[in-house]
Amino acid sequence: MSQVRTRFAPSPTGYMHIGNLRTCLYEYLIARVNGGTFVLRIEDTDQERYVEGAMDAVFGTLELTGIGYDEGPGKEGDCGPYIQSQRREIYKKYAEELVRRGHAYYCFCTKERLESLKGGDENLGASLNYDRHCRYLTQEEIAANLAAGKPYVIRQMMPTEGTTTFTDLVYGDITVDNKTLDDQVLLKSDGLPTYNFANVVDDHLMGITHVVRGNEYLSSTPKYNLLYEAFGWEIPTYIHCPPIMKDQHQKLSKRNGDASFLDLVNKGYLVDAILNYIALLGWSPRGNEEFFTLKELEKEFTLEGLSKSPAIFDIEKLKWMNGEYIRRMSPEDFRKAADKWLHEGLGDALYADEAVVNKVAALVQQRCVILSDIPERIRFLKELPEYDTAIYCHKKMKTDETISLRSLELTLPFVKAYTGEWISGDLYTGLCELAAANELKNSQILWPVRTACSGMEVSPGGATELMELLGRDETVRRIEAGISLLKAKLEA
């Protein structure tokens, strides 16, 4: 088999969404796993939908994910240019070639005429194909229209009988009646090709061997085959991927307000986790291992693992996977990735103390699922939140407000008199001894202290870990605050 070449062919009409990225990923992986070439081609043949900056989003995303292309804009290979708007002469030439070969024809129908063909207004569903009016124009009529400078499009001349079959690697053989095929437009009146035409021409010219795309193209694939055949070109291997859904009925899409790739990144999902997760939506690995870096996928990816039914994007599983990725990071990497969030949660003053930041990072790395969880969870370090004394009551810890008050009153002098090193381990030993000396369970001291230090029902660390972070002065202050709160409550 000739060398494998795949391409990612986005159109710069918006931002990179999850489905796009997954298709791109698969295309990239198919190239890599076969030692082939991955091409990036920009399909900007619709000047009306062009969105400024969309191309940068594509480049930015590829850069971020580490999906590198071998040929494309800025990386010229032998098949350039890689931007379709710079190739318009090519399409025109091939469209005319097809006319010459008798597989396409000039059509001078006006938009108005085409509109009227639609059968007016209330034509529920049943829309009609083009009536092929211009297909039967005489050579003279065509020449006259051309000479008169009438605007025209070039349409594909579909066979009127028989069937067309194509083979898709994931869906198998699919056959359709040629009767159902529309004489689709190949070259628009502005001289630019339609997607369907440019795609075929470029895929051939660029030597693409595996055409990977969403399965919404399944129904236009027979037309592609007819085009390849009309030119006498080799038909590529088709790989249609099922969509990624938001729920049972709707696709995941930016239009529906669903998060794009960049949105997820901004929310604190890790690029590698997102990539890993979406690789699994529509593809399953050989074994039970679910964690794959890009580099590993470049070895492990298999076409056999592709599935044909849609997959619902499950943010819960992504969250879980993201948490796993976070925990697997080195402390240094995590510190870097979480920097902005740590800063936000701690505030300038605490953030200035690198030792504190590192300790907080270590605690939080073990418990956050997405990076944006961080600020909320550590804000209490900056400032003790207002809290209700009800949180001192904990059945399992065997504490209530009365016991908590007593524990805090025991702890306060202990803390003030403490002469050891101010680190969690030693403080823990000390507090446990204090509990034993007063015939209390460890938890009856530790829970109230943790609560007083954090003012929260849950905190990213236990009593002594928080004490260490807070330092002695602040610990004393918070215990005193707890004591007066509890007193006020119990006296009421």
Partner RNA sequence: GGCCCCUUGGUCAAGAGGUUAAGACAUCGCCCUUUCACGGCGGCGACACGAGUUCGAUUCUCGUAGGGGUCACCA
Pick the stretch among 28-36, 274-282, 346-354, 382-390 that binds RNA (CB under 7 A): 274-282
Q: Judged by CB under 7 A, which of 56, 76, 131, 190 binds RNA?
A: 190
Phi, psi (deg, nearest 5) at residue 12: -80, 65
Please give the residues from 192 up to 221 whose contact with RNA meets the rule CB under 7 A: 192, 194-196, 215-220
For the CB of residue 148, give the shortest distance to RNA in the complex, in Å: 15
- Find all residues with CB under 8 Å of 122, minimum gap 6, and list them: none
Please give the residues from 99 up to 128 whose contact with RNA meets the rule CB under 7 A: 109-111, 114, 124-127
Between 145 and 487, name the residue whose CB sits nearer to RNA. Answer: 145
Q: Judged by CB under 7 A, which of 140, 316, 386, 421 binds RNA?
A: 316
- First CA to last CA distance, the chain: 85
Distance of CA 214 to the CA centre of its chain: 16
Choice among 92, 254, 359, 441 that is catalytic = 254
Residue 269 is a binding residue for RNA (CB under 7 A): no
For the CB of residue 214, give the shortest distance to RNA in the complex, in Å: 8
Query: Using CB under 7 A as the criterion, what x/- string covers residues 66-95 for binding RNA?
Result: ------------------------------
Between 306 and 483, name the residue whose CB sits nearer to RNA. Answer: 306
For the CB of residue 234, give the shortest distance to RNA in the complex, in Å: 22
Q: Judged by CB under 7 A, which of 180, 266, 438, 484 binds RNA?
A: 180
- Give the number of other Cβ atoms within 10 Å of residue 252's Cβ: 22
Please give the residues from 17 up to 56 whose contact with RNA meets the rule CB under 7 A: 43, 45-46, 49
Q: Are 102 and 157 in contact (CB under 8 A)?
A: yes
Between 209 and 276, name the residue whose CB sits nearer to RNA. Answer: 276
Q: Are 282 and 307 in contact (CB under 8 A)?
A: yes
Of the candidates 82, 89, 3, which has an alpha carbon nearest to the alpha carbon of residue 43? Answer: 82
Between 331 and 425, name the residue whose CB sits nearer to RNA. Answer: 425
Residue 243 is a binding residue for RNA (CB under 7 A): yes
Phi, psi (deg, nearest 5) at residue 67: -80, 105
For the CB of residue 349, give the shortest distance to RNA in the complex, in Å: 23
Please give the residues from 374 up to 403 whose contact with RNA meets the rule CB under 7 A: 394, 397
Please give the residues from 398 up to 457 whose contact with RNA meets the rule CB under 7 A: 424-425, 428, 442-443, 446-447, 450, 457
Residue 246, both tokens: 């938001």
Q: Which residues of 337-365 are buried (b: 16+ CB within 10 A; e: fewer)?
A: bbeebbbbbbeeebbeeeebbebbbebbb
- Is 254 noted as a catalytic residue in this protein? yes
Q: Judged by CB under 7 A, which of 135, 340, 343, 367 binds RNA?
A: 367
Query: Using CB under 7 A as the criterion, what x/- string covers residues 122-161 for binding RNA?
Result: --xxxx-xx--------------------x-x--------
Between 207 and 323, name the residue whose CB sits nearer to RNA. Answer: 323
Q: What angle, rounded to 10 degrees, do the helices at 463-491 and 442-454 form?
A: 90
Q: Judged by CB under 7 A, which of 342, 464, 483, 485 binds RNA?
A: 464
For the CB of residue 265, give the shortest distance to RNA in the complex, in Å: 20
Q: Are 16 and 262 in contact (CB under 8 A)?
A: yes
Report the alpha-carbon distance of residue 320 to residue 326 in Å, rounded: 10
For the CB of residue 336, give the shortest distance to RNA in the complex, in Å: 20
Residue 288 is a binding residue for RNA (CB under 7 A): yes
For the CB of residue 455, give the shortest distance to RNA in the complex, in Å: 12
Q: Are strands 104-107 and 153-156 parallel, antiparallel or unpaired?
A: antiparallel
Pick the stretch among 55-63, 73-81, 132-140, 191-199 that binds RNA (CB under 7 A): 191-199
- Give the number of other Cβ atoms within 10 Å of residue 92's Cβ: 15
Q: Judged by CB under 7 A, which of 248, 255, 349, 417 binds RNA?
A: 248
Q: Show which residues are catalytic.
A: 254
